[in-house]
A and B are shown apart, each in its own frame.
Chain A
Amino acid sequence: MNIILTVCRKELKDGLRNRWLLGVSLIFALLAVGLAYFGAAAAGRVGFTSLSSTVVSLASLAVFIIPLIALMLAYDSLVGEEENGTLLLLLSYPLARWQLLLGKLLGHGTLLALATLLGFGAAALILGLFAETLVWSELLPAFGLFILSAILLGWIFIAFAYLISASVSEKSRAAGLALVLWFLFVLAFDLGLLGLLVMTEGNLNAQLFPYLLLLNPTDIFRLIHISYFAEEQLSGLMAIAQHVRLGTATLFATLVLWLVLPVLLALWRFNRRKI
């Protein structure tokens, strides 16, 4: 455990030193406040609107940006150390590969969690102080849930980044694969599912459909917010999923499963990696 914490601490120090944490927290805070203020601009007015529309639109933005940031943070975590020569060195030390991987994962996970907490936490604070329409008792649980699920979503993509990093031998390939993965989960999956619906002219089993969404962690993330703000007007794919209500706890459990799976795969790949 000591070794894992040592590795984790070094990753944290790295993230603080190159101002990654500061930068990403700021981006998150600005996005959240900006979205809350200008979210209703399409309806012809600016200013803070309802909590549910703020959080749901924040969630649909987060679905794009959090996976991207997580992948960018960690895609070179192992392959980068190999290119520096430090991986060979570290493996000659009295530590096991799984300790190194989990330590780094923990470090990156903590960094992203801190950025999410600081960025969106600051946004919640600003909203609570300046938006008259929002009350603390509603704001805090909604943002708490949002931050928690956003952290999980980020961790899932960090774990995927580790899987990629453990599997390839060049940094550039890892970057390419990370982008492909992002594209698949964030854009292509929903498009494919919609295409499937149109092709079958909606004859797809309505009971089955929401479960298909569980195959994509970004959709689970969105489902969490939709099931929380059930009264919100929905459009697109998410509206179809309304037929089957999956509880928030179930959705969270599925997300955790999505986290454990790539971590195990990354450990397996890293253990088999030729040095």
Chain B
Amino acid sequence: MPIVELNRIEKRYRDVQALCGLDLQLQAGEVLGLFGHNGAGKTTTIKLILGLIQPSAGEVRVFGESPSAPHARHLRRHVGFLQENVSFYDQLTGAEVLDYFARLKGVSRQQSRALLERVGLEHAARRRVKTYSKGMRQRLGLAQALLGQPRLLLLDEPTVGLDPIATGDFYRHLARLKQQGCTVILCSHVLPGVEKYIDRALILGRGQVLAQGSLAQLRRQAALPLTLNLKGGEGRLPLNWADCAESDGEGGTRLRIPPEQKMACLRQLAILPGVKDIELHPPALEELYRHFMQEAC
């Protein structure tokens, strides 16, 4: 049974078409990156999955049930959610805020304390949230989303404001949850940051699906040139490669080559006299994103 299933979803707000023809299936343990410009329909998608709004057409299923049905409320116990820019209750302490959410979710105080420690807030647990920095608030938000061993996590910009070490800790924890079968939907604008952690990407633009699939699938679909950095062997490039070569500004050469000619190019370059190093970069998520966005315009 898929954890999340969206079938031909449409969502209209009065005169705005927020989503159009969205299909999505997520299995247990999958991590999906949900990308798109502001207003592309990411938040609408998340709200649909949370059951906070209903689609104008199409069908939403979470854990096999319609999430907006009243009897599906108990299923939310297994859902963790963190949206962007939450400011919690300023007058309460971090521990009190987390205990409040834990009680609403039916989670023990012990687990709430353990999570506070896990996100590194144990020293600030008895301080008012008012005094927290942005990063600390974000950690509190993450702790809140992780309450009660979620089987589905929806996270919007989860690492904003976090230092590199905390970010690393977070993604390590996410990997552990994934191993336990937790499904994750990650929204972020920091594409290089999430690239390593997602199994699949869904790129939205103006409510339409621009691309969907694993990174390998997206690369095949986009057919963007690979980047190849060459050290040494300048001026001796075969003529057919010289056209796509430029200086990389550090004494080397940068080539952009079509993906299907990768091996042919590598063979020729490898035997070129004077070549000291070859670095090969497939197009990064950011380039793919840019490509699909431009294609849509």
Contacts and interface: CB of A to CB of B under 8 A. Distances in A.
Interface string A241-275: 00000000000000000000000000000000011
A67 B81 CA distance: 38
B70 A93 contact: no
A46 interface: no
Which of A14, A91, A94, A275 has the largest count of B CB atoms less than 10 A from its CB?
A94
A199 interface: no
B76 interface: yes
A95 B91 contact: no
A23 to B, nearest CB: 14
A7 B104 CA distance: 8
Given A10-B89, A84-B88, A94 B104 contact: yes
B86 A17 contact: no
Interface in A65-114: 84-86, 88-96
Contact of A86 (B53, B89, B91, B105): B89
A275 B75 CA distance: 20
A92 B104 contact: no
Contact of A89 (B70, B83, B91): B83
A92 B92 contact: no
Interface string A1-27: 001001100100110011000000000
Contacts of B84: 85
Contacts of A90: 104
B292 interface: no
B87 A84 contact: yes
A275 B144 CA distance: 20
Given A17-B92, A84-B87, A89-B81, A6 B76 contact: no
Interface in B84-118: 84-89, 91-92, 96, 100-101, 103-106
Interface size range of chain A in the complex: 20 to 34
A88 to B, nearest CB: 6
B100 A86 contact: no
B254 to A, nearest CB: 44
Contact of B105 (A84, A85, A88, A93): A93
B281 interface: no
Given A13-B92, A89-B83, A94 B106 contact: yes
B143 interface: no
B83 A85 contact: yes
A178 B79 CA distance: 36
B74 interface: yes
A134 B168 CA distance: 72
Nearest to B53: A275
7 contacts: A6-B100, A84-B88, A86-B89, A88-B83, A92-B50, A95-B73, A96-B70
Interface of A: 3, 6-7, 10, 13-14, 17-18, 84-86, 88-96, 274-275
Interface of B: 47, 50, 52-53, 70, 73-77, 79, 81-89, 91-92, 96, 100-101, 103-106, 128, 144
Ordered nearest first, which 3 A-B pairs have the shortest CB separation? A85-B86, A17-B91, A92-B81
Given A86-B88, A86-B89, A96-B70, 16 more contacts: A6-B103, A13-B91, A13-B92, A84-B87, A84-B89, A88-B52, A89-B81, A89-B83, A89-B144, A91-B50, A91-B52, A92-B81, A93-B105, A94-B105, A96-B73, A275-B52
